[in-house]
Chains A and B, each alone.
Chain A
Amino acid sequence: MKIIVNGDAREVKEPTLDAALEELGFGNRVVATALNGEFVSASARPSTSLEHGDRLEVLAPMQGG
Chain B
Amino acid sequence: MDSETVERLLRLSALELDEDARARLVRDLGRIVALIDEMQSVDTEGVEPLAHPLDAVQPLRPDRADPKVDRAMLQQGAPATRDGLYLVPRVVE
A and B assemble together: no
